[in-house]
Every structure is written in structure tokens, then in C-alpha cells.
Amino acid sequence: ALEKKVINSKLGEKVGLPCCHEIPSSDSLHNYRVYWQKNTMEVVLAYAEGKEISNNERYKNRTEMNDRNFTLWISPVEIPDSGPYQCVVQHLTSSQNPSVKCDETVTLFVAADFSEPNVTAEVISSSCESTEMVVTCFSYGGFPKSKMSGALNNESVELNVTWMSESSLSPYNATGKLQLNVTKDVTFTCSVESNGLTKSTSLLLKKTNHCVVPAIPTSYNVITASSIIIIIFLLAITLAARYLPRHVCSHCCKPQNSVQQSGKECTKTPMSSKVTSETSSV
């Protein structure tokens, strides 16, 4: 019985409000008078002797009643439908003195989920050290007013949240803002909690670097490369001119007769033999 006191529903769903009496199989709806009223004053639906005698204009084409257990069905349910509903059942044993079989109240609560948060970032200013920006998180269509929170790299931050609604029984739009200086790339996450459900959206905030490093002109690169090549070439020539003569064979002589001396080793006459010969001639 306690579970029937409060009925939770989502916007747009079909919801049934149970009554506290059910007609026995041996009885008929024609012997009953049933009233469904809201806030004890506004009649939503009424039956007498098996016929509908009242139907509220606001609930027209959205309500129906079970003819055995008197459950009131509302579809689609709207946020203004929230509130207490009273089911009164009278048995017409006597037209002059009907007996009350049931008089009980059940409360309907209609909720609406917020949309997935939409996160945007606007850069206000930027320097070599940091980027100043305003991050905005927006979610709509939720009821009742809930909680919006933010986080930077999973560390909680406080948002400046504004709630907008046409009335106390209308869906809410929520806008959260955060101004910060970004010194390095960070991830911002916006979350909206409502009716036990959490929806989150993340956005990577990048530091914009406007420090321009002058590029080396292409002509300068070409000149530098050419100069290096020329220097290496001149250095190679200098080294070759300096060290190449030392590598010429100084122990070989040119053969007198290339035909006769081919394949023979050429040896140089020792200096001492020449001196002896000159002395002998003297």
C-alpha cells in the first residue's frame, strides 16, 4: 500500500494510478460511482452507473479508467500532471445512501531527463604563456531543477550555473560558465545529474601558441650548403697537393728496354759502385 502512495513517471510516458478498490466478479460497474480528482478539488474523470459523467478538458483524450480495478491511465503524461490524485469509490446499494468503498490519495511525480550537455570554448586572449578562454556548458529539457558540475582533468571545478524555466512546472534549461587560463592542454568535463541519471560531455582545451619563431630563408640555406661544399672541395685539393707526391714510388726506375726488361725487377745502382768506377779511371 505504501508503494502505491507515490508513482514516478517520465515525461511522455503512459502511467497508471491505482485505486484502492476492485469490483468483485459477482458485481458490475453499473452499481458504482467513481471519482478521480486532483488536489481534492479538480475532477479529472468520473463514472456513474457504468457511464462517464465528467472528463476534464485538460486531460481530454489523455485519460481512461479500468472498469474492474478503477486504475486511472494518463498518456502521454505531462509535467503539470504532477500532484496528488484522490480516488473515491461509492457502491450504489441505495440511491439515497451510497456506501463509500474507497477514498485514497496517490501522488504522481513526473520527471524529465536533461539533454546531453553541449560544451563550447571561446578564446578571449592568448600569449606565449597561457590562453584565456570562457567554457560554456548547456543542457535543456530537464525537470526538476538538478545539478550541473564541471571538472578539469577529473579535478572538480565550480561552474557559474543559470537555470531558466517558463514556470515552476516547466522544463528547465541550464547554462554553466567557467573562465580560466590554459597553460597546457587540459580536458574539461561537464556533467548534469537528474533523476538518478548522469550525463557527461568532455572537450579538450588546447593552449594556442602565438609565439612566432622566424623561419630561416630558403636562399640562406642554399648559400650555407654551397659554402660548405666549396670549403670541403678546396680542403680536399689542398690535402691532395700536399701529400700525393710522397706516395710516388721512389725505389723504381724506368726500364731501358721495355721488351727485354719486361717482367724483370729494376734496381738502382748503388752510389758506392759509381764512386769506385770513377776512381779506377783516374
Residue 197's contacts (CB-CB under 8 Å, 6 or more residues apart) are 113
The structural domain count of the chain equals 2
Contact in structure between 174 and 138 (CB atoms under 8 Å)? yes
Report helix, strand or coil for 35: strand
Location of C-alpha cell 564541471: 150
Q: Are 219 and 165 in contact (CB under 8 A)?
A: no
For residue 143, what is the DSSP state? B
* C-alpha cell read off for 31: 452499481
Q: Which strand ranges, in their side-by-side order, compose the sheet holding 147-152? A: 155-157, 147-152, 186-194, 197-205
User: Does residue 106 sit in the same domain as residue 126?
Assistant: no
Cα end-to-end distance, the chain, whole Å: 155
Q: Is the pTM of this model over 0.75?
A: no
Query: Same structural domain for residues 93 and 132?
Result: no
Looking only at the bridges linking them, the beta strands covering 72-74 and 83-91 are unpaired
CA-CA distance, 107 to 38, in Å (whole number)?
9
Query: Does 162 lie in the same domain as 140?
Result: yes
Query: Contact 142/155 with Cβ under 8 angstroms?
Result: no
Q: Are residues 104 and 122 both part of a single domain?
A: no
**Coil/strand/helix, residue 219:** helix
Range of the domain at 188: 118-205
- Which of 158, 179, 205 is a domain's end point? 205
- Residue-wise pLDDT tens for the chain (282 aa)? 444 589 999 999 999 999 999 999 989 899 999 999 998 889 999 999 889 998 889 998 999 999 999 999 999 999 999 999 999 999 987 666 788 899 999 999 999 999 999 999 999 998 888 899 999 999 999 999 999 999 999 999 999 999 999 999 999 999 999 999 999 999 999 999 988 889 999 999 998 875 665 555 556 566 777 778 888 877 777 777 776 665 555 554 455 444 444 444 444 444 444 444 343 333
Query: CATH number, domain at 23?
Result: 2.60.40.10
pLDDT at 98: 81
Q: Do 58 and 96 fall into the same domain?
A: yes
Please check whether residues 74 and 146 belong to one and the same domain: no
Look at the block and give the residue holding cell 680536399: 236
